[in-house]
Structure 1
């Protein structure tokens, strides 16, 4: 990913361009306050700790850094780290290296960068080896060369003084840029030489200048005054200058490092501990020390003490060209091959052979009452810590029975008891004395634990039993001999009352008044407890081998394991830090559990313990604590807790579990819209069709960049914040037109959350077809087309309906003129015949035939009426129902009761016809099958609904069975349902055995009702 800049060539010097170069007053003040404020809020590398204890991170080609030497490192006020290399300029945010290039003429491409400088306006000045100066201002690049007034394009140094003027040291003189104009100084103006190699400024504003020769002079504002250094080698060349506190002057030369404080001078060379006599660069430390980059490593000078850190100690390469201390206190070192970062460890501090420990295979750790810290090793003897380094005190060469130390105990009065695998001895005033072995009565030479009881008597646990050391003799305690001879692997003085001993395979025992007795009645619960600890509440804790953690509190005892929340079941040592935390050394490293968690867990208030672990990232190595030594963990008088591990000693400072780092600066670096790169400031109104967005953001924190968690939100699209983890990109596709605001926030490892103060706001313009006016026109068009289509369909339906009505009328005429007329003639002839046969036996039969024929003729006429669809003011449905009901009940014993509403709007003829047929079938069924004595026929009108009901008091029937199972030849109910469905009416039956039947028909009574669709 390339960062593009626009290039502008600066006009010749002499024309004042204060709007281009002179920084605005507000920007100057803000930048100055910011740079003064930042160092006060952070902590640099601890000067009391060697560099080997700092966390070292290295970036080389596999991590994205170019294969080039780094000659300049600079952190600007926005938090970015800029690297000047042989192949150009790179910007670093803690994770990514971004090559910086100018968009025109490639001003920065493949340039050899010598030095970097930022002025009070936030402009970054880049000095090249042979191409003059380049300025980056708000993403734009400008070049400065001979045409602009520089005396030479080969530049060695840059500095901005307290007045905001830029000073440029070149091969052909010194140039001052003030108010857009260059002023050039050479030997003719008082310089001792024209080749200016180094420039620095003192607190009083005096400018110190180192030239080729070597010569040193200072500029007091009006003239150059040459300074003489007696110890400055005449054959050397000055390559770096630095003014320290109290006007201390440091000169980095090719022949050593010169310091002058007042009239006192000192020359540091390799003989004094300097890595190499060739000093390439100098940088001030936050605590007043001085950093020196030499041809053979990095050096830190504090007073007259020099500490060197070279490639053999882990530096990426020997030659150091650039040093920079960032706002968080980390020290950055640029070499020929790699970028190095030294970070102060906040919690875990390792001690190894680099700090003087005789061996990394550490053994027991202990602090005596006098405050001496002792560390035994497994194979390299005993060491003492002086607050900074270890020194070996005792080995087999000066009296130890063995260099493998398994146990330590404080003997009081400057005495230390040492247990080895070859016997017991004491250290008195630094001298080994009083060596005891099996010859002197010890059960075994392998000493596993040592402890003094409340009377001061020494007890020694060996792999062959526990013994008391009294008056130069070893005496076994009273008790069962088989138990006394078991290995004793841990001893502890319980509250000044008695000793508690852990015997292998035998559990816990009380040692009091020379007698050995069971501590409790649950020995199987405490089998093989190889570490014991008593807290401030007199609770006894036991680390059970492979079985987790045990606790005895009064008469209660508890067991905790991984299932309950412990980090590991293989615990080697225990200690409390006095802050309510129980620290444990285990096979997987180091962890602690708050003591209050154990109380809550045993009380049932919580279901799981909370273990806080310390991963290898904190110590930059795999942590595995040492087993089989006593003690493995020890809390020192300063509150720190020491742990013995298989790779040295780890020190945890509970006071520094949390630190105060500056909140990370969150920046949105670039935005890609449909693959095209934009700077955030360029996004305002976007043309239609820009729907795919990529946002690239970062948080400028270098102490732990991999632990920063990001979340982002696109207002106008996202309802809530989106967690991104460590990902530094966000993608959105197919965004709809509208106004948006992209925000990013970051959470660092200390739990401090910050949000970018420059969110990206933009508006995505819609296409013409996405505007409200276009949508309105589309809606109007669709509505108009729908109305036209509706009118055409109505016209088509009317046309088709007219054809149907015409055909119905034709059929009606044909029926009336043929069938009905013929049937009427036949009926009249039968009536004449009936008259002639009056009072004959066949007259009654003939009369019945005539009546049936008359009924059929009436039905035929009604059908013709339905086809004709007569229109009137009142419906004839009620009259037809009445006539039909009377005809069907005439001649039977059924009593007919009619309740008919005649004020019914006219319905379509086919609706009336089907309704009449349904009522007719219901009455006929009641007369023929129910045996009813009364039939009620009711027609009513309510709420635009016409309801017709036929109710009898007959025998009734099973409605469900008749509706589901139709008997052959009985299709009346089916026909009724079909007719009701045809006219879109509701038809219901309600009947019970011997309680009659009710048939109800409901249909709309609106005049617009048309029946079936």
Structure 2
């Protein structure tokens, strides 16, 4: 039979009214029914596997005392109760019942009673804790350590008295002679401290932000058994449940957040009668400046401003980068237009001359073809230099005026073209970027005169004034109506490029033209007399 029991160390044996045999062991509870054992453990709802005592009441409910609480078996279901539910002690050696339907249990801390109706009320949620009444040295016991290693560990005599063995003799209790103390103990908050500062418990208080530790000292008056007065406290605003203080009469709170609080304490007497009203102390804890609403708003605003500033800075950097890229693209577009487009126009003029003289004058056609080839090489070289933002090679071999005249001569081929250069005042070196931009503007004006205006005369004037330089290019071509010029026209893109170059130099740019009356391009650049090539490089 041993192999079918939950364990071989037998603690208690009892038979219920139905004839079932119940065996308590250190490893679980066994029920012998119809010739076989059924084992029950904590997995079935038992409070603990070590079962010390078994009792069946008049309602056929079975009560089991275990090493970790009380268990009830009713209608095929176990219910467990422990000190967490208000049970006086978890280790239960013996269970007896008096005529008032109170259960009496012995333990290693004394003897205590519990009304079965209180257990029912607890199960139904009518009460929050089990109201146990404990008996010990104050009630006459010579020792609170009861015996439970052997059975029975207590019995009820015919006169209704209860007998329990202890390590220091036999204890007898007459439940009929015991009267309950139904007077709840008055509760008083004696002192409240924070650091070295104390507060009146009868008046609401406003605590400073430096109150890091709060100590509440309280007490309750019960002359019957003062050592059995139990306390519970709660700090409303922080605690959700009552804190079991047992017999401790001090509560300590540290590092409370700012806010409004109410400290509540209640107490019970030796018969577990509670003073529910208890005592209270209301107070408020002021916040540090960094815990105030305005500081949080200021911090949020500072974070928002910082984030917005960071976003703006990123957007500005992106905008500046995009502006630089766009400016560089525009510059390359202008340079390509002012080099390749002008070069292609000149090459076109030369090839037209080749086509015209290929049959009649092959030698002249070959000469024009050589010039066109030279212009191809020159245009490619100029395009590379322009993309790299280098000075035009035309300016390396001469001054601005001669470079403009050479441009016109390369493009005229065999066309009857009168090119005149007028220089007012002695020519002087100009800053490279100004000289290069004037050359590109002049080349664009000359190309437009030959390509679109079909001019026969071009006059180039350079006026080196004291505070600047002026360039004027006039032709006798067919002219145009400037307001009606469309964006799709290449000449219009050339005009935009000339405007942009003039803006970069801070120059005044003006174009005058009428149909049938030629075109005049005027650029006036403010340049001091002391600005030279060397000065610009140093700048």
Task: Specify if TM > 0.5.
Answer: no
| TM-score (norm: length of structure 1) | 0.24
Structure with the greater alpha carbon radius of gyration: 2
Structure with greater strand percent: 1
